């Protein structure tokens, strides 16, 4: 039996509203659409994908803890926690796999407070500004790192 390397896709606060939330910034695709695209991209690379969306910081931290030693990579769109959550920073710092920070928009081109990411220092790399396509780019980046 072959065990597929696993990827954990994490979606932070307000991303459950994608599709109707500020479509001029985030597009009209729903979170389900993005998860489906990421799942298909992962399958094409022989990777299993699990997804969790939560509006609660603690759920995201618990999921990062459970990924330790079991999951090859975490792709995380932390939403606004990107700019504030040192707790997510610390959880990711204690995780030993690949970490891709993902954003639909390009936070650097928006309000000044979005220009600070506390997740970036503990990410392997960041993909931002490519909208829905970013989900596929993130999975491709994980697969390239694993191969």
The whole-angstrom separation of Cα 147 and Cα 145 is 6
Residue 27 in contact with ligand DQA, rule: CB under 6 A: no
**Residue 103: active-site member:** yes
79 vs 97, beta carbon nearer ligand DQA: 79
Q: Which of 29, 62, 108, 114 binds ligand DQA (CB under 6 A)?
A: 114
Residue 34 C-alpha from the chain's centroid: 11
Beta strands in the chain (DSSP E): 6-11, 48-53, 73-77, 98-103, 125-128
25 vs 43, beta carbon nearer ligand DQA: 25
User: Which positions from 81 through 110 interact with ligand DQA, judged by CB under 6 A?
Assistant: 82, 103-105, 107
Q: Which residue in the block uniquely carries the two structure tokens 């479509």?
A: 23
Tokens at 106, concatenated: 């390009």
**Residue 133: active-site member:** no
Residue 99 φ then ψ, to 5°: -125, 120
Contact set with ligand DQA (CB under 6 A):
14, 77, 79-80, 82, 103-105, 107, 114
Q: Which residues are catalytically annotated?
A: 26, 103
């Amino acid at each position: 039996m072959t065990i597929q390397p696993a990827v954990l896709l994490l979606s932070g606060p307000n991303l459950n509203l994608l599709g109707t939330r500020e479509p001029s910034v985030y597009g009209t695709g729903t979170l389900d659409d993005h998860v489906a695209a990421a799942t298909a991209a992962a399958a094409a690379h022989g990777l299993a994908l699990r997804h969790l969306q939560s509006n609660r910081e603690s759920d995201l931290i618990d999921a990062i803890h459970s990924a330790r030693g079991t999951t090859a990579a975490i792709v995380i769109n932390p939403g606004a926690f990107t700019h504030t959550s040192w707790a997510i920073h610390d959880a990711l710092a204690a995780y030993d796999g690949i970490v891709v920070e993902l954003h639909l928009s390009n936070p650097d081109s928006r309000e000044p407070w979005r220009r600070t990411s506390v997740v970036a220092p503990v990410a392997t790399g960041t993909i931002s500004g490519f909208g829905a396509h970013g989900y596929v780019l993130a999975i491709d980046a994980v697969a390239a790192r694993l191969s």
